[in-house]
Structure 1
Amino acid sequence: MPAPERLPAPGVTATGEQEELLARGELTVVGRIREASNAVLLCTVAYGGVTADCVYKPVKGERPLWDFPDGSLAQREVAAYLVSEATGWGLVPATVLRDGPYGEGMVQRWIDAAEEDGATPAGGLLALVEGEEAGEGWKPVALAEVGEGRTALLVHADDERLRRLSVLDAVINNGDRKGGHLLPAADGRLYGIDHGVTFHTEDKLRTLLWGWAGEPLTDEARAVLATLAAELADGAPLATRLAELITAVELAAVRGRVEQLLRTGTHPEPSGQWPSIPWPPV
């Protein structure tokens, strides 16, 4: 019997084919990612002679959160993927909701992150610099304590991939955009992962990507948001699929955030009601 074909890197195989593999394939648990706060299992998935690595997060392994309904994080991860696909930016790996060895859960395509440059986390997208100036090619985020009474300026790259991700986070109200959730792939694409803490009706945006706060949105972002607004209308396919994953009031809040971004034409700023940066930040 011939060996199963290994699925090429994301972007090479059509998104629909990746979804089919994840949804219909046989899941085999390989191990557990112990650094995660919830149960995160590394698996292989095989279907039609093709295999790939993936992440499986069973609902049973979710830790209850005081501000989110129990057992809803997996659905939110899938909803974030659907919104990402609707933007056309492809910022979230293929993600499905399905049954697995430990019950229903989220299954997401595994992304091999590119080698870090040894000096900065997240593949050179984040850095700590001395002084109060970010420097050319960087955007300031906040001052951070680095020990012995010293501070450094936390900065992120002035990168269009990050800028797109900051817009997506604003739409889905991402409450946990850490540096470790940024995965630059070897093919130059950037992926964001861990979107369980999203779609809350209250403003809970917590992110390391505040560098564009208050700045005008790009023409591209405004065009994408206008298209997204149409796809979120009642009866539109995206709205119908999201209604199966998040509540009606949460879906209404998504529409409201898109409308607000279009109305203001600027990147959002911290609300002041919640800590604006997640902890730990990386």
Structure 2
Amino acid sequence: MSAPERIPARRVSDQDLVLLARGELRVQGQIRDASNAVLLCTVTHEGREARCVYKPVRGERPLWDFPDGTLAQREVAAYEVCEALGWGLVPPTVLRDGPYGEGMCQLWIDGPADDAEDAEDAEDAEALGVGRLLALVDAQEPAEGWKAIGFAEVEEGRTALLVHADDPRLRRLAVLDAVINNGDRKGGHLLVDAGDHLYGIDHGVTFNVEDKLRTLLWGWAGEPLTEEATGALEGLRERLRDGEPLAVRLGELITGAELEAVRERVAALLKSGRHREPSGEWPAIPWPPI
């Protein structure tokens, strides 16, 4: 029997979803720095194999402000919304049964440290990935090509400016986060693969009816949305109408009130034509930020 085919990091297709949903899951280990149970697995189906992350619902820690549904369902809903926007920013994600019951299963994304043969050390790998998107600088204003997030205390009595790149991929992600009401967009939730494709992960704390947006991507706050973003949001608004396949699918994953809140957030973004700004009623930046 020949060895299973490995999936390239950037390839996203219906076959990936079939593999994740129907393949045999084998647990390889646990990612221990996560707040909930996160298991690294391999999934195999009809001669294809990939690594994936499996988050069983039974391993979730209850959250007082997310009493309805599960975090796993919200992760799948975030993927569905991102796909409707057409941006491919969330790795393929499904809800399925597994060795420890129902949970979220998401394609593993290899970073530069995994895939880049010319990355001789961790600094080389960092330079290829997220290290080009976030930085702490000893300055009062961001340099050209960067956006300011805010000042952070790096040691007693000394602060540095936290900045993110003025990158169109991050800008799309900022719009997605505003739509899904992401309460936890940390730097560690950004992945860049060896092909330089950006992904956002960890979307369990999303879709709350109340404003919970906490993110590092405030650099465009108040600025006009791009023409691309406006077009994507208009398409999403149509797909969220009652009876449309996306609306039906989201109705299976989140509550009716949460689905209506998604519609309202999309409508508000289109009406204002601008990126979200912090509300002032909720901490704007997650902690820890990275």
Letter in 2 for 1:3: A
Letter in 1 for 2:34: A
Partner of 1:150: 158
Partner of 2:193: 185
Structure 1: distance between partners of 2:237 and 2:140: 38
Alignment partner of 1:226 is 2:224: no
Partner of 1:133: 141
Q: Per the alignment, in what secondary structure is the counterpart of residue 99 of structure 1?
A: strand
Structure 1: distance between partners of 2:69 and 2:178: 23
Alignment partner of 1:46 is 2:44: yes
Is the 8 Å Cα contact of residues 60 and 71 (structure 1) preserved in structure 2? no
Structure 1: distance between partners of 2:268 and 2:195: 34
Deviations 1:201-249 (A, max 9, x none): 0110000000000000000000000000000000011000000000000
Shift, 1:261, TM fit: 0.1
Out of 263, 282, 290, the residue aligned to residue 274 of structure 1 is 282
Shift, 1:169, TM fit: 0.3
Letter in 2 for 1:187: G
Q: TM-score when scaled to structure 1?
A: 0.97
Share of identical aligned residues, percent? 71
Shift, 1:15, TM fit: 2.0
Partner of 1:95: 93
Structure 1: distance between partners of 2:90 and 2:261: 21
Partner of 2:3: 3
Alignment partner of 1:198 is 2:206: yes
Structure 2: distance between partners of 1:79 and 1:119: 32
Structure 2: distance between partners of 1:198 and 1:266: 21
Q: TM-score when scaled to structure 2?
A: 0.94
Is the 8 Å Cα contact of residues 201 and 250 (structure 1) preserved in structure 2? yes
Structure 1: distance between partners of 2:180 and 2:13: 21
Q: Per the alignment, in what secondary structure is the counterpart of residue 228 of structure 1?
A: helix
Deviations 1:74-118 (A, max 9, x none): 000000000010011000000000000000000000001224655
Unaligned stretches of 5+ residues in structure 2: 114-122
CA 1:128/1:164 → structure 2, altered by over 3 Å: closer, same or farther? Answer: same
Letter in 2 for 1:264: S
Structure 2: distance between partners of 1:15 and 1:231: 20
Is the 8 Å Cα contact of residues 126 and 154 (structure 1) preserved in structure 2? yes
Deviations 1:45-82 (A, max 9, x none): 00000000000000000011110026510000000000
Deviations 1:145-203 (A, max 9, x none): 01121000000000000000000000000000000000011112100000000000011
Alpha-carbon RMSD: 1.3
Out of 169, 180, 186, the residue aligned to residue 177 of structure 2 is 169
Q: Per the alignment, in what secondary structure is the counterpart of residue 102 of structure 2?
A: strand
Structure 1: distance between partners of 2:284 and 2:137: 20
CA 1:67/1:121 → structure 2, altered by over 3 Å: closer, same or farther? Answer: farther
Unaligned stretches of 5+ residues in structure 1: none
